[in-house]
Amino acid sequence: MALKIFLDGKLVPESEAKVSVFDHGLLYGDGVFEGIRVYNGRIFKLPEHLDRLFASAQAIMLNVPMSREELTKACRETCAANGLRDGYIRLVVTRGVGYLGLNPFKCPKASVFIIASTIELYPEAVYRDGLKLITAATQRINPAALSPSIKSLNYLNNILAKIEAVNAGTVEAIMLNSEGYVAECTGDNIFIVRGGKLETPPVSAGALNGITRAVVMELAKQLGVPVSEPNLTRYDLTTADECFLTGTAAEIVPVASIDGRVIGSGKPGALTLKLTEAFRKLAQTTGTAI
């Protein structure tokens, strides 16, 4: 069955969901987006995703042409139109149609589209056995040049690191910042467990302020696990007791090895498994009803 896509105020068949070649989102990556999960007929953490969307838009002086309430309604209606009870929403706001040239103020109105569909996750074996990571040579963009808190349409930096991972025979890579500290992976945040404590790189190191990241930190605190955000090195990662990734699509993914070095036992650790169980329970029981 063909998908129904929300495009600038109305639901249209996917064959009619088209944007102009003059849209600055296409021409220059000028726009913002959110990836949002749907579990059991509920949209997970929708208010938090909308808060981040509007913050990203504010940071790049992009006027979102719909209110939070209108976007909430549009996400719910798009899910309902596609019979989606478990899946993924991609909410995108582009700068809109303009002239050739960088000036964003030549674009009179932003464009909004929403895709609600199923999602391809990591293979089940990855969650059971853990992921093999490499460290990419491609550095994370300096936060002073582009804030990692802006979830923009320009992902070329991440894609270059992703290419390195795929060429190395895996699917994910760790990205370091210009100072040599760990920032994040190409599409996920990264955590380690050492000495009974949970640690993750700070946003100032180049990490996205991830929604799943925040949920996991809160769940850890509820379990009585100390949580901190220190600068981390490759040494910290490869000598950790446990390591895992978090992301909207990925949820919580255990890491088995980094650059050929086995992490802990090489299998999902005890805290990783506890947090995964707590996260899945939360995801299945909370959210904005469709």
Active centre residues (catalytic): 151
Angstrom distance (rounded) from CA 12 to CA 10: 6
Are the C-beta atoms of residues 233 and 258 closer than 8 Å to each other? Answer: no
- The candidate with the shortest Cα–Cα distance to 190, out of 170, 175, 169, is 175
User: How far is residue 193's CA from residue 244's CA, in Å, rounded to a whole number?
Assistant: 9
CB 254 within 8 A of CB 244: yes
Angle at the Cα of 111 (from 105 to 113), degrees rounded to 5? 155
Asked if residue 6 lies in contact with residue 112, where contact means CB atoms within 8 angstroms, the answer is yes
Hey, is 126 helix, strand or coil? helix
- 119, 247 Cβ separation under 8 angstroms: no
Beta-bridge partners for 39: 42
Give first-to-last CA distance, the chain, whole Å.
20
Radius of gyration (Cα) for the chain, nearest Å?
A: 19
| Strand pairing report for 182-185 and 111-117 | unpaired
- For residue 149, what are the CA distances in angstroms to 17, 60, 262? 29, 11, 31
Do the Cβ atoms of 232 and 178 come closer than 8 Å?
A: no
